[in-house]
Amino acid sequence: MTKQPELGGSFTLPGTTMTVKRMGYGAMQLAGPHVFGPPRDMDAALAVLREAVAAGVNHIDTSDYYGPHVTNQIIKKALHPYPDGLVIVTKLGARRGADASWIPALSKQELIAGTHDNLRNLGLEQLDVVNLRVGGISEPTEGSIEEPLTALAELKSQGLIGHIGLSNVSPKQLAEK
């Protein structure tokens, strides 16, 4: 039997009991060109995910706006039912336009819909971690994050989200209380 690589050790996510390896898998590129539509080779996409988990990866970073919906459906097809200890971290805060544009989606209703899309497309009853993504592709958009965080906190209290994180926020937004 071959020993699995260490993947850089592991750590417990702050405020949780989840332990993840330092090396995870970012699923963004599983979708088609420009993170839109299906991949050119579905069998290869499925194989990459299965091999990553077989190699010891226990943390997948994804979002239902990759594709849209494509990446999460691939993850579900490749790995569901999920192995014990696999942590799936998704992002909310954007959606894709029909022209493949990236559109902010930070209203309460958009966050609720995005949560339910992620749950359905991943085949889960609860999302392990949801990162609120604020802003564009390369930098955050300024403004308060209180309203979207409040919406996510409500979804967490309903049991649909296990933990809430932040992605692509400014120092000022990070300091909000």
pLDDT, one tens digit per residue, over 118-146 is: 999 999 999 999 999 987 767 888 889 99
Q: How do the residues of the chain divide into helix, strand and coil, expressed in percent and rounded to 5?
A: 35, 25, 40
Is 66 a residue of the active site? Answer: yes
For position 15, what pLDDT does the model report? 83
Spot the catalytic one: 25, 65, 66, 82. Answer: 66
Return the top range by mean pLDDT from 16-30, 99-113, 127-141.
99-113
Say yes or no to pLDDT of 29 above 90.
Answer: yes
Q: What is the pLDDT of residue 6?
A: 59
Q: Which two tokens stand for residue 97?
A: 């336009």
Name which of 96, 99, 52 is nearest 74 in CA terms.
Answer: 52
Tell me the pTM.
0.90
Average pLDDT in the 61-71 region?
Answer: 97
Pick the CATH number of 10-170 from 2.40.50.100, 3.40.50.150, 3.30.360.10, 3.20.20.100: 3.20.20.100
Contact between residue 123 and residue 79 where contact means Cβ atoms under 8 Å apart: no
